[in-house]
A and B are shown apart, each in its own frame.
Chain A
Amino acid sequence: MPLPNAPGLGFKPEHFAAIRDTRPQLGFFEVHAENYMGAGGPPHRQLTALRQDYGLSLHGVGLSIGGPDRPDAGHLARLRDLITRYQPASFSEHLAWSSHETDYLNDLLPLPYTAETLQLVCDHVDEVQATLGCRLLLENPSTYVLFAQSTLAETEFLAEIARRTGCGLLLDVNNVFVSCTNHRTDPQDWLAAFPLAAVGEVHLGGHATEALPSGPLLIDDHGSPVADPVWELYSRTIARAGALPTLIEWDNDVPEFSILLAEAARAAAILTQAEMRHAHAC
């Protein structure tokens, strides 16, 4: 069963008691797969309890799909075990790399968009989907630099991966805003060139702002509320695409649970509006 077209929240263990006691109405919870790769203990107990009441989105940060090497077989096997055990409605990963040979660098690092990297990423996505037996959603990154050797636009690159591999896309609207602002391009143009029909989930999160001589440098830090221009882009996207499963991400300086619920409510209002408009049009 796919994720519902409703807001979801990133699960933080410090909110477990609040969720268990109040059972808020939410479409789903999303967790980082790597946090549940231990043998046992509280992480698995909490996820089991959460899974009884909510849909689950499993979000990976460690597959390094954008690297030169094939995905790590051990990591894939652990993902497969998690998927078998928790039956998530969705599995997603990033257009990025995070491992280099034997080192794990714990960040989503960028790649040039070339014919070579397109082929590598498609091969890796094929292998992931074949091994896990499910469709992967691939997320667009926040980027801070460009590469002179790139020959494809990011939107073209993502669209081609989806076309060749049959994978879905995870549209992170904050990442679109961050990258476009950083590269002095218009996020509306980016979204107009992006294959919305392939989107299986939307992410919304906060960013930090620094200053460079040429203008702002936005940093995707998931440490604050979703910014107003990102809400605006999200509204326009939902008006075009219709309602989509929408995650609020807040991973650093995690606030009280009620703050996250308020962000989810804001997304819910936009989704409801889109559904009403859609019903009216029919």
Chain B
Amino acid sequence: MPTHADFTRAFRAGLFTGTLPPGTTAQAPDEATQRFAVYRNNVAHSLTRALARRFPVVERLVGVEFFTAMARLYIEAYPPASPRLFLWGEGFARFLQGFPPVRSLPYLPDVSRLEWQRGIAYHAADMPSVTPADLALAAADPARFKLVLHPSVGLIRSRHAVVTIWQANQPGAVQTGPLRADRAEDALILRDRADQVPVIALSPGEAGFQSALMRGETLLEAATRAEGADPARLLSLLMRAGAITGIAQQG
């Protein structure tokens, strides 16, 4: 008789191959295959929906039917490694990059990165923000201070119009004519004080400044990456959102 470890291994394999695990039967034994299919469907359907909840714009861009077929392949190759399903899908962008049927949608991997980062932001730890006075002190001596940002803060720099594409594919978005996907856009993601996770378009200079802040450069160093953009707009946006959680001294 197979051990329970043998049984579960065969069951796990059968979820994808359809081969019945040892001993599988039913009151009417010839129905065993159809009945086992309930488990196969439950696993495939529940994981597909979990992936779609995480990447709703990707699903919208390729269509539900295509997404479902693609998700089956992803699930089989990269099933979740934990019951914490919000940690599943980090490799989806890389999967999309190497998936020939979506080659005609070159922006898709970056759109998925943006959606992944929004999920990270949603579940990120809570941290109190600094006061405007703290920030003013740091800004008065920018060579000395760098900022500590909220763990929800992320930056997606793309050669594609990821912000425009994301916004145009939100529920209730109004289409205002064709959009150009081949324009570079940078997206700042964070969870704000109202627990919303907006996607904020940054100019290239602002994205350079933001990227430098995230690398831990001082305010002065970071400002040199702003390419003429005004760092003050971004700093006040971060401040309003509660995204600056500490001021650290250089060195």
- List A residues at the B interface (Cβ < 8 Å): 34, 37-45, 61-62, 67-69, 75, 78, 97-100, 102-107, 109-112, 114, 116-117, 120, 144-150, 182-184, 212-214, 217, 219
Contact = CB atoms under 8 A, between A and B. Distances in A.
B84 A37 contact: yes
B65 interface: no
B101 to A, nearest CB: 25
Contacts of B124: 38-41
Most buried by A among B15, B123, B124, B125: B123
A107 B83 contact: no
B195 A41 contact: yes
Nearest to A75: B83
B127 to A, nearest CB: 8
A39 B151 contact: yes
In order of increasing CB-CB distance, the 6 nearest A-B pairs are A62-B83, A38-B123, A39-B125, A40-B126, A214-B28, A68-B5
B31 A149 contact: no
B25 A145 contact: yes
Contacts of A116: 3-4
Contacts of B43: 105-107
Most buried by A among B34, B38, B125: B38
17 contacts: A40-B123, A40-B124, A41-B195, A42-B122, A42-B195, A43-B123, A67-B8, A68-B8, A97-B8, A103-B12, A104-B83, A105-B12, A105-B47, A107-B39, A111-B7, A145-B25, A146-B27
Interface in B2-27: 2-5, 7-9, 11-12, 15, 22-27
Contacts of B5: 68-69
Contacts of A212: 28, 31, 34-35
B122 A183 contact: no
Contacts of B82: 62, 75, 104
Nearest to A37: B84
B7 A112 contact: yes
B224 to A, nearest CB: 33
Interface residues of B, number: 49
B12 A107 contact: no
B67 interface: no
A212 B38 CA distance: 12
A40 B47 CA distance: 23
A107 B86 CA distance: 16
A99 B83 contact: yes
A115 to B, nearest CB: 11
Contact of A106 (B7, B12, B28, B47): B47
B86 A38 contact: yes
A41 B121 CA distance: 8
A107 B14 CA distance: 14
Contacts of A62: 82-84
A111 B4 contact: yes
A190 to B, nearest CB: 14
Nearest to B50: A106
Contacts of A150: 23
B28 A144 contact: no
Nearest to A110: B39
A104 B79 contact: yes
Contacts of B38: 144, 217, 219
Most buried by B among A78, A105, A213: A105
Nearest to A103: B79
Contacts of B22: 149
Given A145-B24, A148-B25, A182-B35, 13 more contacts: A34-B84, A38-B123, A41-B122, A75-B82, A99-B83, A103-B79, A104-B88, A106-B50, A144-B36, A144-B39, A145-B36, A184-B27, A214-B26
Contact of A214 (B15, B27, B39): B27
B200 interface: no
B157 interface: no
B133 interface: no
B104 interface: no
A104 B81 contact: yes
B198 interface: no
A117 B7 CA distance: 11
Contacts of B26: 145-146, 183, 214
A167 to B, nearest CB: 19
